[in-house]
Structure 1
Amino acid sequence: MDGTKDASPSSKLHTRLRLWEFPDCYIFEPIDGLADLYLSVSRASGTMNLVEELPPRGQSTPKVQTVYGVIGVLKLAVGSYFLVITDRDCVGSYLGHAIFKVTGLKVLPCNNALNTTSAEQKKMETELSELLDAAERTIGLHFSYDINLTLSAQRLHDLGDEYKSFPLWRQAEPRFLWNSYLLEPLIENKLNQYLLPVIQGSFQNIHAEVGSEKVTVTLIARRCMRRIGTRMWRRGADAEGYAANFVESEQIMQSKGFTASYVQVRGSMPFLWEQIVDLTYKPSFDIVRQEEAPRVLERHFHDLQKKYGAVLAVDLVNTGGGEGRLRERYAKSIEPILSEDVRYVHFDFHRVCGHIHFERLSQLYEQIKDYLKKHRYFLINDKGEKIEEQTGTVRTNCIDCLDRTNVTQMQNFAKLSLLNCESCPNWHTGNVAGIKRVLFSVWANHGDAISIQYSGTPALKGDFVRYGKRTTEGILNDLRNALSRYYLNNFVDGTKQVNTDFVDDAPNVNFL
């Protein structure tokens, strides 16, 4: 980094910055009292340095606005582009720390070199501009200035003091760090106070009174960045075992000084398979390099075990047809690694539950309740002491890992004994029904957010999740959303996936 001043040793992140747009540079002026130095960024080359004062105004008046953080820097063929947060909404708190949703993004180009580059380079940069448009439209981005949102409550609790002293970006779980690549130029320049970790997914924080008790319910979706993409254009797993639409869902409940957390995951069936879009409503499934399925699947589950402990794979796909072929490959490929710590359960959701009898999911619960009770959940008391520990997770999939999966994950939590926690006396006694109404609402929103990011529409079967029953309006909404998905799959998502693949192959960050 140019300049004579070093970055402040403080790791406290800037919460508000005044952005000055001068003809030859951008200046970020901290207005939160955390530092006296200004960050100067060259509009010609993107180089960064810290300065003590603003440059001379000159004849033109610089444009000025307040921004709330720098998401990072995207480097393309010619020039660099700074992504800054122009608007944010506080959406609640995570373990006592404020969480914000990004509601406005702006791209600051540092590409004056275009004036002197070749026509071919200019054409390339123009074609790549769609990526910048996609960046500004990115949805579901959340962040905190004070706590590591990429880690679950249990993992945060178990961090050592030394690790907790690191800047937030160094504490972050790489799988869920949406702006990992974008932060690299800031890391190289040791600009810790500007390194803001961001996740993509959803965050809900609801305060409710259930009878005489005050209960806080938090539900977080953390979307994995390792195999990101759109619905039919990104299926299965890659050769490293990273699965499409992999999402960690954490449910937190707080009442009477106790904090309880339960983590589940979802993801595409973890072997190589695809679905080629061909204008049919439901394109056929193709299993790629079948002989590699056991190896890819083993890598996937080995990674899950390292992070979560025991794993119960719940497979909700149909027994017959194309889904049936995928189920057979999954069941056969996972067989060599089945053990006390890796279980596989198939439950034909459509055959058992049909379109309206979702209460029959209780049959699945009977098959897995011993696992849920054995591996428990994370629980701390009002002194921060750990009373319970979650030692395993449930990995749920259907085809999209959206609709059937969301209904099932919500039911798993609703059935969990956490609602009648024997370790925290009188926590929810007599009020389980009221708490479930709150849970139904947040899980419906949770499913919609994940579905919109992957498929472009809200989740199907959302009326059951929200109200505990199927409704005529819900069935009609499902029809509309299914038709919208067909249109998006065939005429929109391909372009989005091309943009994603380009960035994924070059700098490994994705805009969707």
Structure 2
Amino acid sequence: MPRDEIRVQIQRIDSEGHAANFVETEQIVHYNGSKASFVQTRGSIPVFWSQRPNLKYKPRPQISKVANHMDGFQRHFDSQVIIYGKQVIINLINQKGSEKPLEQTFATMVSSLGSGMMRYIAFDFHKECKNMRWDRLSILLDQVAEMQDELSYFLVDSAGQVVTNQEGVFRSNCMDCLDRTNVIQSLLARRSLQAQLQRLGVLHVGQKLEEQDEFEKIYKNAWADNANACAKQYAGTGALKTDFTRTGKRTHLGLIMDGWNSMIRYYKNNFSDGFRQDSIDLFLGNYSVDELESHSPLSVPRDWKFLALPIIMVVAFSMCIICLLMAGKSALISHSSIYFLECLPFFYNILSF
């Protein structure tokens, strides 16, 4: 199978505890000299697991049976606590089927670590929101509302005095930390923004963001664009479920667009991702060049057809020049040149075969 048709199986965490697809997102508000922000993180489930491409739409996750999961897990969250403080972990993967072992492993790791700085919440996104019941996302928001109030947000007034500090972050994940994750992050950020704007006096008590139509449109589009930017880097297409992020409603047109993007992702991930992965490995220094290998992996081998074509074109061009210079003086050369030019398409077809 050609290299471009192979997608390398990659572990979602390394020995230093760095998780794949890790992204920090900060929502910043400026108003009359005051500044407020709300930080969230997303990242792959921090245990040693991977998915091997096998032409299935959803390759089964494989959890390593030999790796020290707790070592990588603890390294990851030790660094997260140092940087961000308390961790509220929201795991959005399925709690049945092929994703179930991952959810169970994640929950077990959190429980085994026994850190008072971490809270774990499992929310089966697909089960809860099936049959277009996306209003049920309010169940999760209600569940974490008190925790979000406890973590708070950062706020500094126009005089430069810190009014409140954010004491921790929500760390959300699904399988690839793209589509489901972005939906939940946008809702959490929206709830924080509501509180910030009331604190800054932009909204009066009792006023809601959804009542500000123009601002609502801009805000939702910003989060949908954020989803697309993350998804294009990793999956090669825009994010799924952005119809909900942009409009607040799940639509049939959105389902169709998700199907189209999913089809493109399937093709790219299985048949054209090898070159991109090689490029990433090269830039990250993960590709080591064998000193005994004489052939450069960056060069494309050329056979005799690529060498012969320029020579034929030079000869043809030369014959044309001769014909123009010696028109009427050498019928033999003229007829030979015309015959040669008429044969060029034939030679080209042979060389292009």
User: Which amino acid is 2:106 matched to?
Assistant: Y
Aligned partner of 1:444 among 213, 218, 224: 224
Q: CA deviation at 1:420?
A: 3.1
Aligned partner of 2:77 among 292, 298, 301: 301
CA distance in 2 between counterparts of 1:388 and 1:507 reads 46
Aligned partner of 1:420 among 195, 198, 201: 195
1:201-249 CA distance string (max 9 Å, x none) = xxxxxxxxxxxxxxxxxxxxxxxxxxxxx99854521121111110001
User: Which amino acid is 1:248 matched to?
Assistant: E
CA distance in 2 between counterparts of 1:504 and 1:248 reads 20
1:240 aligns with 2:31: no
In 2, are the aligned partners of 1:258 and 1:424 still within 8 Å (CA)? no
Tell me the residue number matched to 2:107: 331
Q: How do 1:199-210 residues align onto structure 2 when only pairs under 5 Å count?
A: none
CA distance in 2 between counterparts of 1:252 and 1:464 reads 22
CA distance in 1 between counterparts of 2:128 and 2:86 reads 27
User: Which amino acid is 1:348 matched to?
Assistant: D
User: Which amino acid is 2:39 matched to?
Assistant: V
1:55-82 CA distance string (max 9 Å, x none) = xxxxxxxxxxxxxxxxxxxxxxxxxxxx
1:409 aligns with 2:185: yes
Q: CA deviation at 1:332?
A: 0.9
1:434-465 CA distance string (max 9 Å, x none) = 24433211100000000000000000000000
Tell me the residue number matched to 1:65: none
In 2, are the aligned partners of 1:272 and 1:290 still within 8 Å (CA)? no
2:120 aligns to what SS in structure 1?
Answer: strand
1:466 aligns with 2:246: yes
232 and 354 in structure 1: CA distance in 2 versus 1, 3 angstrom threshold = farther
The share of aligned pairs that are identical, in percent, is 37
CA distance in 2 between counterparts of 1:232 and 1:451 reads 19
**What TM-score do you get using the length of structure 2 for normalisation?**
0.74
231 and 270 in structure 1: CA distance in 2 versus 1, 3 angstrom threshold = farther
Q: How do 1:240-279 residues align onto structure 2 when only pairs under 5 Å count?
A: 240-279=16-55
Q: CA deviation at 1:475?
A: 1.1
2:259 aligns to what SS in structure 1?
Answer: helix
Where structure 1 has 5 or more consecutive residues not aligned to the other structure, the ranges are: 1-229
CA distance in 2 between counterparts of 1:462 and 1:424 reads 29
CA distance in 2 between counterparts of 1:497 and 1:425 reads 46
Q: CA deviation at 1:498?
A: 1.9
**What TM-score do you get using the length of structure 1 for normalisation?**
0.52
Q: How do 1:189-200 residues align onto structure 2 when only pairs under 5 Å count?
A: none
1:104-153 CA distance string (max 9 Å, x none) = xxxxxxxxxxxxxxxxxxxxxxxxxxxxxxxxxxxxxxxxxxxxxxxxxx
User: Which amino acid is 1:428 matched to?
Assistant: L
Q: How do 1:313-324 residues align onto structure 2 when only pairs under 5 Å count?
A: 313-324=89-100
In 2, are the aligned partners of 1:251 and 1:261 still within 8 Å (CA)? yes
User: Which amino acid is 1:238 matched to?
Assistant: D
User: Which amino acid is 2:245 matched to?
Assistant: V
1:297-353 CA distance string (max 9 Å, x none) = 111000100100111111000011111011111111221223331111100001101
1:399 aligns to what SS in structure 2?
Answer: coil
If asked which structure has higher relative contact order (CA below 8 Å, sep 6+), I would say 2
In 1, are the aligned partners of 2:88 and 2:119 still within 8 Å (CA)? yes
1:392 aligns with 2:172: no
Count matched residues: 278
414 and 236 in structure 1: CA distance in 2 versus 1, 3 angstrom threshold = same
CA distance in 1 between counterparts of 2:77 and 2:7 reads 22
1:245-270 CA distance string (max 9 Å, x none) = 10001101122332110000001100
CA distance in 2 between counterparts of 1:232 and 1:321 reads 24
1:340 aligns with 2:95: no
421 and 342 in structure 1: CA distance in 2 versus 1, 3 angstrom threshold = same
1:311 aligns with 2:91: no
Aligned partner of 2:256 among 476, 488, 493: 476
1:354 aligns with 2:130: yes
1:456 aligns with 2:231: no
User: Which amino acid is 2:199 matched to?
Assistant: C
Tell me the residue number matched to 1:103: none
In 2, are the aligned partners of 1:317 and 1:327 still within 8 Å (CA)? yes
Where structure 2 has 5 or more consecutive residues not aligned to the other structure, the ranges are: 1-5, 289-353
1:390 aligns to what SS in structure 2?
Answer: coil
262 and 412 in structure 1: CA distance in 2 versus 1, 3 angstrom threshold = same
268 and 500 in structure 1: CA distance in 2 versus 1, 3 angstrom threshold = same
User: Which amino acid is 2:25 matched to?
Assistant: S
Tell me the residue number matched to 2:294: none
1:494 aligns with 2:274: yes
2:95 aligns to what SS in structure 1?
Answer: coil
In 2, are the aligned partners of 1:294 and 1:334 still within 8 Å (CA)? no
2:199 aligns to what SS in structure 1?
Answer: coil
CA distance in 1 between counterparts of 2:244 and 2:177 reads 17
Q: CA deviation at 1:370?
A: 1.6
CA distance in 2 between counterparts of 1:300 and 1:231 reads 26
Aligned CA RMSD, in angstroms, stands at 2.2
CA distance in 1 between counterparts of 2:27 and 2:9 reads 29
In 2, are the aligned partners of 1:313 and 1:342 still within 8 Å (CA)? yes
Q: How do 1:88-237 residues align onto structure 2 when only pairs under 5 Å count?
A: 234-237=10-13
CA distance in 2 between counterparts of 1:501 and 1:408 reads 31
In 2, are the aligned partners of 1:377 and 1:389 still within 8 Å (CA)? yes
In 2, are the aligned partners of 1:338 and 1:344 still within 8 Å (CA)? no
CA distance in 2 between counterparts of 1:235 and 1:479 reads 27
327 and 389 in structure 1: CA distance in 2 versus 1, 3 angstrom threshold = same
In 2, are the aligned partners of 1:232 and 1:275 still within 8 Å (CA)? no
In 2, are the aligned partners of 1:233 and 1:276 still within 8 Å (CA)? yes
In 2, are the aligned partners of 1:231 and 1:455 still within 8 Å (CA)? no
CA distance in 2 between counterparts of 1:455 and 1:231 reads 12
CA distance in 1 between counterparts of 2:96 and 2:106 reads 14
User: Which amino acid is 1:236 matched to?
Assistant: R
CA distance in 1 between counterparts of 2:159 and 2:13 reads 42
**Structure with the higher fraction of residues in strand conformation:** 1
